[in-house]
Amino acid sequence: MAETNTMNFQAYLVDTFRAMKEEPVILILGGLLVHLLTVASMGLLAGPLIGGYFLLFILYLRDNRKPTFNDIFSGLQQIANLFPYFLVLLLIFLGFMFLILPGLLFATWWLYVLPLMVDRKIPFTEAMRLSMNKVNEAGFLMHLVFLLLISVIPFLLIDMVSAVIPFLLVLKFLLPPFQAGCLASLYIDQFSPPAASTFPGQENYSVSESRLAPLSGQEEADDDTAADGGNIAKTSNTTPVIDDDRKTEGNSDVPEAEGENSSP
């Protein structure tokens, strides 16, 4: 998918609800489990746990890969790379502690950090740079509105409705898959697929290698042709110059040599 500077909020909602409708058990229960484990770890494992949940959505929406229960914990395979995401959350939390505005600024700038880390397997510093550049390029205000639509506003609406109908408080269980699905759909829309992706079951697959493989025979032929041309040029350039007298002397010696070889 080509990169774009526009947002289609309706498409992101449609993608998310379609995924939740087709895979309700894995996405809803998995999101609840990830949320509980993240809280139990005091946010230290937020990167591997939430990252694996994001990757599940990304592969499902982008590659139509059916999710499994084990995919929920796929982020633990990248724990060394995803663990520093805790530092990003800490900076966002500290930003909210100082008049809220810095927290909103950081949360918006670094909206794509975790999807980039888990999907492209890049360090968090590089993901922070790419995320900030994309947010500034596509529009900071649009990303801020998106962040409010999937985080603050749903919480406020559920709290208001559940104050009248307490049973509707269970809608908060739908927030993790709703938020992850919308962000995964936005990420797919804003970022092109990586040049060489490594997904579960495709560890040895490389797009660049697969495209270059059919050309190996032609490249080998071109190398042979170039080598032959080089040998011909080398031969022509290294041919010794023989004087006419030496040439005549060499020709006169040939019959004698042949005569000596033909004698009994």
One DSSP character per residue, 165-196 reads: SGGGGGGGGGHHHHHHHHHHHHHHHHSPPPSS
Residue 251 has pLDDT above 70, yes or no: no
Residue 4 has pLDDT above 80, yes or no: no
Higher pLDDT, 151 or 232: 151
State the pLDDT at residue 98: 83
Residue 158 has pLDDT above 60, yes or no: yes
Look at the pTM and tell me if it is higher than 0.85.
Answer: no
Going by the DSSP 8-state scheme, the letter that residue 101 receives in this structure is H
Percent of the chain clearing pLDDT 90 (strictly above): 53
**pLDDT tens digit sequence for 22-42:** 999 999 999 999 999 999 999
Per-residue pLDDT band for 5 (boundaries 50, 70, 90) equals: low
Q: Is 87 helix (H, G, I), strand (E, B) or coil?
A: helix
Higher pLDDT, 109 or 248: 109
Residue 140 has pLDDT above 60, yes or no: yes
